[in-house]
Chains A and B, each alone.
Chain A
């Protein structure tokens, strides 16, 4: 989630209230305070609330929440003659562009930092790392309209931000730091997105870098915004958030005509809220008037439009309002979560254990009764532990993770015994005897099922202990079995038994092969038992994914 830095001075100026009150109330509008510093507070806002990624946006919300100023802000857009043409050759590359002009703005250093902050957050959250949306802010007075958004060849050159020489688009992608970060988005496209003015000056090479020519400074008065992307709705969301932020910062918005479409549209969206269903969902009994008042605190436009309806104007920057319940949530937040009394409902239902978990509990009782200590190893493992050290062939049904994060975790375990041996290795300096067990999920092909494994190590651990323990285990599980000589290479030949139930091999026990012990770096004899619980209890079908 994006972390927004809010400088106290600017925040206090915009809110008109002291920092302590603001900080105290921030969590209750929906945020996590990351850290409180000497001259700023760093706050994490929810990814849905893109309108709170600027000091201006937070101030707007806070003034409403503290009832210093309620209801909607109105965002007038005056017409301008500035136009943009969008070239057909971007259709498969980056077809959408949104634009607007902001006039007569005075950007001090804090406002510029806030503007850069909101751009970064929008790039990340709405723009998915600029792939979906990228934003450019330009000093309008350095260039001449009309503007053109088109697909240029990589040989085109201009002076990018932070450089003092012309570079070709290829050079920018290879050498400029932003080029290295973002070139993957466009480098395989047939043409590169480019924004030029009437005289062929380059404003921007979206989504990578702006031109040095239109750099925004404290002396910039008039701004041109460009928002390009692959998703029209996301492009417009970012444009609206930017425009309303800059209007709150003191600017005047003028429209831009893009291929004949006048934008931005900063008008609110209308919704009629049903008071009854709102109260039903929240468990409240607000009147239509009360809901309207609360929503105004949350900076909506809202009036009672009937005994049980409230007509709501949703500000254009509230991209998160997709459904009526999103408005209901704001009713709860505006009313204050602290005012909502917790209450258990009368829903009647009887509790019921899942049979697989119930069986696992019984198995744990049996094993602990046999003197075994439970361990809970990871379910992700690797070929080395699972098969190589066990002297076993890799299981073709093992599921491999496509992009493992380390060599330790490359597949989902198919057996439990190797993990017990690995734990004995980690605990080799602890007092003997050590007897440990685990029961839990393994995965074979796409199926999850349950196994049980036990291991015991001490100088006298031998086949007869393994046999006696398995025998007790099977007796307690209520299953009769037949021993059959096992060829499992993880065990000493002649000291390993396959546990046959109704002619099916359901598990194995015996003395672990010294070669295996060497590979696990274990010095004492170990006996091991592993049982397929789903084969013993066929009533418990494999859980299909």
Chain B
């Protein structure tokens, strides 16, 4: 059994006295009585001593009580102020008349007849008078009177007694050595080898430490990094690009008709300034007007190059995907992007004007719609969504289009992102002849599902306590 030095010293003294008080032992051990109680407590946890706690109340005279002890209680002073009898009116001039008269009557010292107070005989000291001399000895009801009259105050005091147990005696008999204990080790003690002779104090491991908050990567960024890692593992090249885009790349190159409401100021953040159209823009114009050289009819009408020059905050990362494809029209291409996108939406718990989007594209000679479903299943599977199913979908720049749904315990089937094969109207202007599989995903939506958030703002205007308390590894996933 491991005892601290102080526990050992106390135990050895207890062998001599059997029972002791902390005060007495404090003197012997040269420690405050409080500390002795603590040592006793530790011994008792180990069954070596018993600590008894007795609560006693002590009554102490108040200032008023002390004064009355000297001068007599108000009723005594009043009684002594007149002889056989006196009129109430006369007595009322006495400073203690009010309290004194009541008590004199209650104690039977006087009776009142026709407005006169008449003494009934020689009064013996009342129990309160007696109690004032030694309040602690008074019977309980008198103590109550004393307290009520404000003559005494009550104080609780706790007295401990410490008694050695048989167990303690046995241990002491077996022999206890007293060595000084060491808390913090010093460099000297380590290098000199002095530690070998030290008794290193054992610490209380039940006490929780003060929390330490490490620096760390934001839980949302960790999730983004997890998605990046999955896509890098799957052989995708990462894209990164400007958040400022021309309407040409953001809309026109993706076969978004020029009168589509999503392009308007109402839904998209527009910025001042014009963006130059890239080489080859005429083919995009032809695609819109008549379908170019494909089997498409196009949208018809006139395509306005000025409208395509508008500057916008990108509404999707697809604007980067198409630029990457235009620069790399030869197969194979496997690329992804996770980046911030912008929609002109008022802020509420589930809508923000800016959020992250993930997008993956695969271009190769023989890829097809079933391969797209294969990529979706694989990606969602690696994200931890085991069950995936597919429904028809609609996106202006893909055909066929599909809406993947994943099964989430407690929520059921949840739509998560969109996918499709880029329309030929999108790829043909850039000389791309292979199918391009594409899928996109609202990353912040996954974060809400994963982290159980009800308000998207928590990701961007984080409560530091929340970030501090979200574990890096959650449910075995990191």
Instruction: Give chain A's interface residues, CB within 8 Å of chain B.
Output: 27-30, 32, 46-49, 128-129, 132, 231, 233, 271, 280-284, 322-326, 328-329, 332-333, 337-338, 340-345, 347-354, 356-357, 361, 364, 367-380, 399-403, 405-406, 408-409, 412, 423, 426-427, 430-431, 434-436, 441, 443, 446-448, 543-545
Determine which of B218, B275, B392 lies in contact with A545 in the assembled complex, contact meaning CB atoms within 8 Å. B275
B394 touches A128 (CB 8 A): no
Given A344-B378, A356-B240, A379-B243; 8 other pairs, CB 8 A cutoff: A27-B391, A283-B371, A323-B291, A342-B376, A347-B367, A376-B462, A401-B269, A446-B311
Determine which of A29, A324, A338, A376 lies in contact with B221 in the assembled complex, contact meaning CB atoms within 8 Å. A376
If over half of B's interface residues share one DSSP class (helix, strand or loop), that class is named, otherwise mixed; here it is mixed
B465 touches A430 (CB 8 A): yes
The listed residue with most A CB atoms (<10 A of its CB), out of B270, B298, B340, is B340
Residues from chain A with Cβ under 8 Å of B346 in the complex: 405-406
B400 touches A328 (CB 8 A): yes
Contact with A along B289-317 (1 / 0, CB 8 A): 00100111111110000000001010000
* Range, interface on chain B: 35 or more
A15 → chain B closest CB, angstroms:
19
Given A357-B238, A399-B244, A343:B371 Cβ within 8 A: yes
A435 touches B370 (CB 8 A): no
From B47-55, B192-200, B209-217, give the one contacting chain A. B209-217
Instruction: Report how far A345 CA is from B236 CA in the complex, Å.
Output: 14
B399 touches A329 (CB 8 A): yes
Contact with A along B265-302 (1 / 0, CB 8 A): 10001111101000000000000000100111111110
Instruction: Report how far A368 CA is from B468 CA in the complex, Å.
Output: 12
The listed residue with most B CB atoms (<10 A of its CB), out of A282, A348, A354, A369, is A354
Can you list 11 A-B contacts with CB-CB less than 8 angstroms, sorted by A residue number? A128-B259, A281-B400, A284-B370, A323-B291, A325-B423, A351-B236, A354-B237, A374-B218, A376-B459, A403-B344, A545-B242
A344 touches B291 (CB 8 A): no
A282 touches B347 (CB 8 A): no
Instruction: Report how far A368 CA is from B214 CA in the complex, Å.
Output: 8
Given A323-B294, A374-B221, A427-B463, A348:B401 Cβ within 8 A: no
Residues from chain A with Cβ under 8 Å of B344 in the complex: 403, 405
A325 touches B399 (CB 8 A): yes
Instruction: Report how far A406 CA is from B246 CA in the complex, Å.
Output: 23
A478 → chain B closest CB, angstroms:
20
Residues from chain B with Cβ under 8 Å of A426 in the complex: 461, 463
Instruction: Give chain B's interface residues, CB within 8 Å of chain A.
Output: 213-218, 220-221, 225, 228, 231-246, 259, 261, 265, 269-273, 275, 291, 294-301, 311, 313, 332-334, 340, 342, 344-347, 352-354, 362, 364, 366-371, 373-378, 388-394, 399-402, 415, 421, 423-425, 435, 459-465, 467-468
Determine which of A324, A337, A356, A368 lies in contact with B402 in the assembled complex, contact meaning CB atoms within 8 Å. A337
B460 touches A443 (CB 8 A): no
Instruction: Report how far A408 CA is from B465 CA in the complex, Å.
Output: 24
Determine which of A271, A337, A357, A446 lies in contact with B391 in the assembled complex, contact meaning CB atoms within 8 Å. A337
Instruction: Report how far A325 CA is from B460 CA in the complex, Å.
Output: 41
The residue of chain B having its C-beta at the shortest distance from the C-beta of A331 within the complex is B400
